Amino acid sequence: MGMGVDPAAFRAAMARFPGAVTIVTTLTPQGRRGITATAVCSVTADPPSLLVCVNRATGTCQGILETGRFAVNLLRDPSGDLAMRFAGAGGTTGDDKFAAGDWGADAAGLPVLADARVAFSCAVAETLTAGTHQVFIGQITAIAQGEGAALIYEQSRFHRLDPI
Ligand SMILES: Cc1cc2nc3c(=O)[nH]c(=O)nc-3n(C[C@H](O)[C@H](O)[C@H](O)COP(=O)(O)O)c2cc1C
């Protein structure tokens, strides 16, 4: 702590870091939960696994802690409105968020987008508390691949991929 970089400087710096936009979902006894998340990263191919960082204040985090399962849906361009909805824009919360988007379910009942660029179904292998967030390493149990191009977020705006 107190090492010289304040949270605002950190946020401004990380805003320059382009992120692929996902919706991380889970299924709880109280219904579906999901948030928009860019803090998603490949971990290792053996066993196939990825990590997500989820704010502990969200119902999604509590749901994943309780059920040990989550799905990562990589959004397709254009899905900016859906991303903002799942980031809490407009005040929609809980299962009501899923009223928009073509949502289905995987074999475990986890919410997956029919038109996701790719969707990963995961079982929590390890978890770590890091300040305000929970890091979940998920072992991937299923992959569903779709068409289109991934949606990108940088400097508080959505962007589309443009090959060089
Ligand atoms: C582009 C974008 C990326 C985000 N990435 C993350 C993330 O990686 N982890 C996270 O916990 N929250 C992230 N958020 C914030 C959550 O989406 C937001 O806190 C959450 O949806 C609030 O849900 P609630 O209103 O239902 O509590 C991101 C928001 C946006 C707009």
Domain containing residue 149: CATH number: 2.30.110.10
pLDDT of the residue at 1: 52
Domains identified in the chain, total number: 1
Within a domain: 13: no
Within a domain: 152: yes
If you measure from the C-alpha of residue 132 to the centroid of ligand 1, how many angstroms do you get, rounded to a whole number?
A: 12
Within a domain: 140: yes
Within a domain: 3: no
Within a domain: 136: yes
Phi, psi of 42 (to 5 degrees): -65, 145
Q: Average of pLDDT values for 106-133? A: 98
State how far the Cα of 159 lies from the Cα of 134, in Å rounded to an integer.
27
* Average pLDDT of the chain, as a whole number: 97
Question: Domain limits at 137?
Answer: 19-160
Cα atoms in the 13 Å half-sphere on the side-chain side of 66: 15
For ligand 1, what atom is nearest to the CA of residue 35?
A: 21
Determine the residue of 33, 38, 50, 85 to mutate for testing ligand 1's pocket, defined as the one with the most ligand atoms within 8 A of the Cβ atom. Answer: 38
Within a domain: 71: yes
Is residue 44 within 8 A of residue 70, CB to CB? The reply is no
pLDDT of the residue at 2: 57
Within a domain: 14: no
- Does the CB atom of residue 37 touch ligand 1 within 6 A? yes
- pTM > 0.95: yes or no: yes
Confidence of residue 4 (pLDDT cuts 50, 70, 90): confident
Determine the residue of 24, 25, 35, 77 to mutate for testing ligand 1's pocket, defined as the one with the most ligand atoms within 8 A of the Cβ atom. Answer: 35
Within a domain: 2: no
